[in-house]
Amino acid sequence: MLGSEQTLRGLEGINSGFGGGLAGTVSGWTPNGMKSADRQRFEQAKRDFVNAQLRRESGAAISQKEFDNADAQYFPQPGDSADVIAQKRTNRQRAVEAMAREGGPSYRPHSVFDQSGAIVPYQPGGTPSPAPRQPLTPAKRLRFDPATGAFN
């Protein structure tokens, strides 16, 4: 997912302007041979991202309606304002971070998001590690005293 996000961030403006908006609108009906290399990369990154996200959520086959909804939820569409594009970028970042958290404490990504939301290489030890555990002390063995009904 993070690889798709890197590609998408580099192509977020692909649907801007008249030409980009028109190409984005008719893209579903246009054969790949007539699309630019950037348009093809953008669409492939979207498919990769949506497949990973929806498969994680449902584990089942992804319907066209679910795919279309995720497309509108996560990716710049023709006519989206800069604020909406930024909101969709944040939505994708949250989805990637949630996927990483589900990987558990042993998961070590190649890249992560920094405080500003930029994608940066993962630095081991760059995030605080949990406090070391204190060694366990052996428990005192208690015996039941039937005369008093207490454990001593």
Digit-coded pLDDT (tens) for 72-83: 899 888 888 889
Q: Sign of torsion, CA 5 8 9 15?
A: negative
- For residue 100, tell me if it sits in a domain: yes
- For residue 92, tell me if it sits in a domain: yes
In this prediction, residue 129 carries a pLDDT of: 43
pLDDT, one tens digit per residue, over 7-37 is 877 777 776 655 555 555 555 556 567 778 8
- For residue 83, tell me if it sits in a domain: yes
d(CA 118, CA 143): 60
pTM comes to 0.60
- For residue 44, tell me if it sits in a domain: yes
In this prediction, residue 36 carries a pLDDT of: 80
Domain count of the chain? 1
- For residue 103, tell me if it sits in a domain: yes
- For residue 108, tell me if it sits in a domain: yes
In this prediction, residue 143 carries a pLDDT of: 79
Q: Sign of torsion, CA 46 51 57 63?
A: positive
Give residue 59's domain range.
Answer: 1-127
β-pairing verdict for 150-151 and 144-145: antiparallel
In this prediction, residue 130 carries a pLDDT of: 44
Q: Which stretches of the chain score pLDDT less than 50?
A: 128-131
d(CA 138, CA 57): 44
